[in-house]
Structure 1
Amino acid sequence: MTSDPRSAPLVFITGASSGIGQALAARFARAGYRLALVARRTDELRAWADAQGLDARRCGIFGADVADIDSIVAAGQACIAQMGLPDVVVANAGISIGMDTGEREDVDVMARTFAVNNTGMAATFHPFVDGMRQRGSGRLVAVASVAAIRGLPGHGAYCASKAAVVAYAESLRGELRGSGVKVVTLVPGYVDTPLTRRNRYSMPFLMPVEAFADRAHAAIEAGAAWRVIPWQMGWVARLLRVLPIPLFDRLLAGRPRKHRQSER
């Protein structure tokens, strides 16, 4: 670990108060990074950082709601002012709520999902893009999902939002080609987090969040353009892509749906 904290590399992570975001924060801390962590629940985040022995020199905490563009942009700008330009930015914050298009309240759920998972991602990256381009280095990490591959019944908002993450990250990668800034798309399968524990359907190849963080960290450090984790879900994703529509529809018929907001 670097002796002078100010000279250590810096990672900026949204949605860091639990799940994948928190596991990635712990993994980057072990790798010697300084942490700039973002969440709405800053008290919980500070308690976690204190429990990890991360003082203010190594861990900055910023409160923001990624669904509010001005809020997350301000958090990014505060990070630059207080800690410097990050080496890695992980747009991890996301929500997953089931929906039924026939229910009016669920259309609002879809709008909120896109505000967090998509617009929030672009707003997370925004404060850092020009600085990274001028510096000639950096990694912008988009956290997608294998749910991006095909639409699942009852998951319209989440699947559509994650498909949009994949397309957005691909577009951004093309825009930054040759600049030295890498865009990394992480495609998790099922990871054991508070977000997945209430799912009422089978989750093949479910993996511990710490194991996911190890593999994600390796992919980010390598600057991989695309990485499905775990690798077994990569084969599932390939199969789903090529399944004929009638077979896909029969396979998914009767599959339990994700909890809607009113069922949570």
Structure 2
Amino acid sequence: MTREREERAKIRLRQARRPRLAMSAMNTNNLTVQNPYMPMWWSAAMPGAGHIMVGKIIKGFSLFLWEFVINTQSHLNESICYSMLGRFQEAKDCLDLRWFFMYVTVFIFACWDSYRLTLEVNQLAVLSYREHAPLSAVKLSSIEINYLIKTNPWLGVVWSLFAPGLGHLIARNLFQGLYFLICFIVVVYESRLLESIYFTSIGHFGEATRVLDMEWALFFPSIYGFAVCDVYFRIIEANQLFKLEQTRFLEGHYMDKAFKMPV
């Protein structure tokens, strides 16, 4: 009987049209239902963030890089900083229109595309759930281990507050974790944040303000906010997949075939 169940499981694995989970030893990606306005909002905060949330990792990383390059070349964050201080003429003077208009086009595309993709992925996630697509519980390689396990989502949130990317490493999303850590290191270095914190701690507030590069420092709210939000929902979804995989395993190996599951 056990052998027959294993054969049926293999057949279902080959016939799965829409797999719910793709797990490698290095990373995890899955289909999940989300509110389409959330990825769109994060794309407005940081182009590429919404795509990463949906699961389009390469496109998201590319748009993230585009944001850093075009934003700094157009001096958009610097212009925003002057505008918030009421120094509107300086905001106009520092803005490079040649780069700015390229930024606007891709910004609108990132918001629209993340909304569209979320709707499509939501449909695939619902169909995958109805088809009872099989789930992998563990993936091994010679250098890394990945697996489904229940994790406290607030653990990922706390470590992401220390440094964006650390929470994703806890959630076993190696690619996102390393990418966010690299972005965090670059922004900390270019903004000279640690120097500013040092001068603030010894009471040299004027020097702390002088060394801080606001053009790069304004990236921090988006990077921190998205890293915390993304890892929280990723861990919750991984916990649900862990329960679902356990449920299907117990159904397939221990439940009587004559038993009818209540709807």
Q: TM-score, normalised by structure 2?
A: 0.25
Greater relative contact order: 1 or 2 (C-alpha under 8 angstroms, separation 6 or more)?
Answer: 2
Q: Whose Rg is larger?
A: 2
Name the structure where strand makes up a greater proportion of residues. 1
Q: TM-score, normalised by structure 1?
A: 0.25
